[in-house]
Structure 1
Amino acid sequence: MTETLAHKEIDDTAFARLEHEGRLLNPVLKGLTNKFGRVGFRGELALRFAPKLADEARPPELTCNQVMACATIGHKYLAFFAGYLLSFEHLKDVAEVLSDTLSAGGKYFLFCNNIDLSERYQVPYKGAMFYALPILESTVYNEMLELLYLEKNELKKKDSGGKLDAVADAAIKFDETFDTITYSEGLELMGPVRNPNENRPV
């Protein structure tokens, strides 16, 4: 697929603004998946940019890592989003950056490094419901497979788009409920932020 074609497809999805703001970084996948009309992204989402010095492009100050997300061409909301955060407090940054791409019916999962390993929460924010979960399986991809009861070996044969489709399809149907807490309550419950270089998910 040509770069222009990929951009044309992204421009007609919920990714358009994020792409134009330069927030979709280090993509492993950015473009059409194997499902008709679906555009997927796997990479990093820039949450906070560093001040620009002259023409020097500096890395963002804050990112949501290991992002898996998908949108449908012609629709303005993200159907599915999952990512890794060092701290629960950055849920607010994710919600504010995604803002107009969030919907009450979307499925949004954030794996946070400072949530008690035995807890899982639902956090309403910006008119959307976020699942705030601890990270146990080292990567968001593995966490999603575990959460959605997907068999890793069955997905191995699929390409990047196929893997994302399988996770997104299962995530969109996900209907388990956890304790609902407010963002403020989550801030009080979260643990200290760990050293990002210690046992860092790769």
Structure 2
Amino acid sequence: MANFVEFLKENELAWQPSFQGVLSDGTYGYRGALIVEAGKQISPDRKLPPKIQAKQVITILDDTMKFFACELESFHDLAPLVEKYKDFLVSGGLYLLYVTDLEKAGTFEYEGVKFTAFPLDESSVWNELLELADLDKSDMKRLKKQEEKIEAVYEELVGTDVEETSASYEEMLTFVGESSKQLMGAV
């Protein structure tokens, strides 16, 4: 756990975290974004936003990541993500990717680690996880602490079959299309 926390701090990789702390079982939870490729340093005290980031990250770790879910703008961002965080990824972890330019879901291995990737259109990673875990939003609202919510989602997902059609990494690359995410807000 301390290794990941130190890694984030030393490399300034936490980006807009909404939660980071110890969970009830002693593991570490994080919710926010993680920098994959930093933005350009434009002055000693100012840096542009990250070029590549894993958005809407929800992760649980001890020495390694037991659970990791995030939004990626492109499936091509997986390679630099794995390169940056490979010391914390293990073959037995639960790793879910929601990708805006992916047209078809699949479960695949990359660098010896199993991932399941889903297209992400309009929803958020959190809402997608609740649906995948068959959890009701009203039940989650009853939980007051952020760490309780993260733990509840993880505990449900561990007992759920989250795998999609098996594919190779190369096959997954053929499922990449245009970004399908709908932008919300003023037009």
TM-score with structure 2 length normalisation? Answer: 0.88
Q: Is the 8 A contact 1:80 1:171 kept in 2?
A: no
Paired residue type of 1:44: A
Distance 1:188 1:109, change over 3 A: same
Q: Is the 8 A contact 1:106 1:172 kept in 2?
A: no
Q: Is the 8 A contact 1:71 1:80 kept in 2?
A: yes
Paired residue type of 1:90: D
Matches within 5 A, 1:6-85: 12-33=2-23, 35-55=24-44, 56-72=46-62, 76-85=63-72
Q: Is the 8 A contact 1:43 1:68 kept in 2?
A: yes
Paired residue type of 2:69: A
Cross-structure match for 2:85 = 98
CA RMSD of aligned residues (A): 2.0
Matches within 5 A, 1:133-172: 133-136=118-121, 138-158=123-143, 159-172=145-158
> How many positions carry a matched residue from both structures?
183
Q: Is the 8 A contact 2:19 2:30 kept in 1?
A: yes
For each residue in 1:24-81, what CA deviation from the matched residue of structure 2 results, as whole angstroms up to 9, or x when unmatched?
1111101123x22021100001111123234022221111111101112xxx210001
Cross-structure match for 1:4 = none
1:179 match: secondary structure: coil
Paired residue type of 1:99: K
Using the alignment, how far apart are the partners of 2:33 and 2:177 within structure 1? 24
Cross-structure match for 1:109 = 96
Distance 1:120 1:183, change over 3 A: same
